[in-house]
Amino acid sequence: MPANSEEYARPATPPDTSNLSEVRGASRECTACHLYKRATQTVFGEGPKNAPIMLVGEQPGDYEDVAGKPFVGPAGKIMDRALEEAGIDRSHVYVTNAVKHFKWEPRGKRRIHKKPNSREIAACRPWLEAEIRLVKPQLVVCLGSTAGQVFFGPSFRVTRERGKLLSSKLASKVVATVHPSSLLRQPDEESRKREYKRFVVDLRTAVKASSEI
Residue 152 interacts with ligand URA (CB under 6 A): yes or no: no
Whether the CB-CB separation of 29 and 23 falls below 8 Å is answered with no
| Selected binder of ligand URA within 14, 47, 70, 137 (CB under 6 A) | 70
SS3 state of residue 102:
coil
In 10 A of CB 109, how many CB atoms?
Answer: 5
Residue 64 interacts with ligand URA (CB under 6 A): yes or no: yes
Q: How far is the CB of 209 from ligand URA (least distance, A)?
A: 22
In 10 A of CB 153, how many CB atoms?
Answer: 10
> Up-side HSE of residue 102: CA atoms within 13 Å toward CB?
24
Cα dist from 115 to 82, 84, 121, 146, 182, whole Å: 24, 28, 10, 8, 14
Cβ proximity to ligand URA: between 14 and 61 the closer is 61
Cβ proximity to ligand URA: between 23 and 178 the closer is 178
Nearest partner of 71 among 148, 184, 168, judged by Cα: 184
SS3 state of residue 204:
helix
Residue 148 interacts with ligand URA (CB under 6 A): yes or no: no
| Selected binder of ligand URA within 59, 138, 149, 177 (CB under 6 A) | 59
Cβ proximity to ligand URA: between 36 and 71 the closer is 71
- Contact set for ligand URA, span 86-105 (CB under 6 A): 97
Cβ proximity to ligand URA: between 19 and 117 the closer is 117
Interacting residues toward ligand URA by CB under 6 A: 57-61, 64, 70-71, 73, 75-76, 97, 181
